[in-house]
Every structure is written in structure tokens, then in C-alpha cells.
């Protein structure tokens, strides 16, 4: 794969540090999830938009911190869930990836119709403290860019502009996916805020620019001009946390009676990971080994 086509995140500042900027290309990860879940276009677009925001929010974390985004709307695709960390590792899923939703009156993918316009965005951050940080805001449009803009303003008190997009081919595959977040720091003059608002209003859709071969860095130059200082770039990768060992521990945690019932009724078990759709199968012999481990230990 050519270097410029890899999924990456760029982060930087502009206007003497008074603006903080992030941009991503997430095409390959969104296509990987589309393929794993066999998702239909509007579900793919909703997941891809949320995942792009999640990748950028992950880059705002440090060390081993991680976050989970839940978009819970009243639309047919159900819940959208994305996990991300500070190292560019992301995963995600939608409850009903094959829920069909027709295009909107502009001929575009009707993400708001798929997600729903009533519901909430919940963000949970594991910052290594005793209690995780939790922030929630109601959905205001269901298109997601506006909803995350609202989230940053209300829940994190950081005025922001969010743009995300996913372009899907006729065969349902993902052609382009990515986005940007521009955050206003204290000290920005009214004229600078107006300049930024005008740039956001004039900017073509994210996927239009990506389809023209523009990079995440180019997206940011559209918004802030040449006064852009890139601090670092980071590769983005799909990475699930599931493993056979973790699934075994989950089965053991069911307890002796529950495991015995599975063995007697089915003589096998299959566990499917929500995030990556990987299937883990266990035959009777393996289940009986796990049953031994699930038995309560005698008190010494």
C-alpha cells in the first residue's frame, strides 16, 4: 500500500497556538469494519464518522488512557460504539449493521435517519483514576459532526468545529473516510473566530477533498491557512482487544452451574466478539476443562 494511502492522524496548532487541530484518514479501518460486519452504507457511514472522531479524541489522551464513545439514537441501526486509545488503536461496531435506510432528499446517505435524531452521545474516558470520566449530551441532528461539535462545547467546554465524512462505493465498500477537529483555545479574537467560521462554511466536504488526493494535513490548511504547525503524525490501526484467553475467562466467570448447563444442552459454545465479529468455538472437551476451573475453590 502506498504511504499516502495509509490511515494516519496529524495533530498541530495554528494562529500562535490559539487553535488546536486534528485531522485523520480512516479509510482502511472503516473498510475493515465494513467487511467484518458486512454493514450497509448508512450504517458504515455512521460508524465511520464516529470512528474518525474517536481516533482524534483518542489522540487527546496520554499513555494508557482510553475512551469509549456510545451513540444511542432511536434510528434503525441502534447503538454505535467506538473504542480508542492514545496509541492510534481503534475498534467499533453498530448494533444492526444491515439495517437499510434510503438516501435523503439530497440523494446523500441519510445518516441522521439511520442513527435517529432523538438520543444521546455518551463518552467514557478511563484516565487511570478511581472513577472514569463520563460525559453525555443529547443528539441534536443525528448527522454526528454537529452532535460532536455540541458535545465538545457542552461537555468539555471547548468550542470546536468537527467535520467527518465517509464515501461508499456502489458495492458498499469504503472509498474514503476521515475528518477534522479544530478547537479554539483562550485568547482568540472575534475577527479570528469569524475567519474560522467562514473557512468551515466554505470548505468542501471532507470526502470530496480526500477523493481529490488531499491529505489530512491539507484538510487543516483549508481551515487555518499556511500558519499551521504540525506537531506529530501517528499511524491509525484497527485493533481489537478480544482473544481466546479472554473469552475463556468470560466462560469461566459464568460459573459452574451455567457452564454445566451449556455442556449438557449443546456440548459446545460459540462466542462472537461485538467489535470485530471474530468467532471463538469451544467443543465439549474444552468446556469440561473450563468447568474444572469454574468450580469454587475449597476454603483452606
35 with 82, same domain: the answer is yes
- Expressed as residue numbers, the domain containing 102 is 7-238
Average pLDDT over residues 46-62: 97
pLDDT digits (tens, 9 = 90+) for 68-102: 999 999 999 999 999 999 999 999 999 999 987 77
CA 35 vs CA 76, 102, 233: distances in Å: 20, 21, 27
13 with 130, same domain: the answer is yes
Does the structure show a pLDDT above 60 at 2?
A: no
Average pLDDT over residues 159-169: 95
182 with 276, same domain: the answer is no
| DSSP SS3 for 110 | coil
CA 82 vs CA 30, 92, 104, 107, 250: distances in Å: 11, 4, 25, 27, 21
DSSP at 72: E
82 membership: H or E segment, kind and range: strand 79-85
* Domain of residue 140, CATH code: 3.55.30.10
In whole angstroms, give the CA distance from residue 170 to residue 205: 19
DSSP at 204: P
> Within 13 Å and on the Cβ side, how many CA atoms surround 88?
18
pLDDT digits (tens, 9 = 90+) for 220-269: 999 999 999 999 999 999 998 888 888 888 888 888 888 888 888 888 88
150 with 208, same domain: the answer is yes
232 with 173, same domain: the answer is yes
131 located within any domain: yes
Indicate whether this model's pTM tops 0.75.
Answer: yes
Decide the pairing of beta strands 119-126 and 133-138. Answer: antiparallel
Amino acid at each position: 500500500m502506498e504511504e499516502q494511502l495509509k490511515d494516519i492522524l496529524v495533530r498541530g496548532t495554528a494562529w500562535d497556538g490559539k487553535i488546536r487541530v486534528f485531522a485523520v484518514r480512516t479509510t482502511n479501518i472503516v473498510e475493515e469494519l465494513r467487511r467484518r460486519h458486512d454493514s450497509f452504507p448508512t450504517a458504515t457511514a455512521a460508524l465511520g464518522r464516529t470512528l474518525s472522531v474517536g481516533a482524534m479524541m483518542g489522540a487527546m489522551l496520554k499513555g494508557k488512557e482510553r475512551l469509549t464513545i456510545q451513540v444511542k439514537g432511536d434510528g434503525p441501526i441502534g447503538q454505535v460504539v467506538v473504542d480508542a486509545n492514545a496509541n492510534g488503536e481503534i475498534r467499533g461496531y453498530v448494533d444492526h449493521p444491515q439495517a437499510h435506510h434510503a438516501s435523503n432528499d439530497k440523494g446523500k446517505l441519510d445518516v441522521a435517519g439511520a442513527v435517529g435524531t432523538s438520543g444521546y452521545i455518551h463518552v467514557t474516558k478511563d484516565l487511570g483514576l478511581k472513577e472514569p470520566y463520563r460525559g453525555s449530551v443529547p443528539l441534536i441532528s443525528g448527522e454526528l459532526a454537529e452532535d460532536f461539535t455540541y458535545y465538545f462545547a457542552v461537555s468539555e467546554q471547548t468550542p470546536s468545529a468537527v467535520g467527518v465524512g465517509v464515501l461508499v462505493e456502489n458495492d458498499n465498500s469504503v472509498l474514503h473516510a476521515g475528518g477534522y477537529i479544530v478547537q479554539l483555545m483562550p485568547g482568540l479574537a472575534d475577527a479570528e473566530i469569524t475567519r474560522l467560521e467562514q473557512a468551515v462554511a466554505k470548505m468542501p466536504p471532507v470526502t470530496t477533498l480526500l477523493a481529490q488526493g488531499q491529505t489530512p494535513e491539507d484538510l487543516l490548511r483549508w481551515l487555518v491557512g499556511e500558519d499551521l504547525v504540525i506537531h506529530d503524525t501517528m499511524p491509525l490501526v484497527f485493533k481489537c482487544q478480544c482473544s481466546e484467553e479472554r473469552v475463556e475467562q468470560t466462560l469461566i466467570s459464568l460459573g459452574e452451574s451455567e457452564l454445566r448447563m451449556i455442556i449438557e444442552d449443546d456440548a459446545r459454545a460459540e462466542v462472537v466478539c461485538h467489535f470485530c465479529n471474530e468467532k471463538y468455538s469451544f467443543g465439549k472437551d474444552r468446556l469440561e476443562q473450563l468447568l474444572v476451573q469454574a468450580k469454587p475453590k475449597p476454603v483452606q
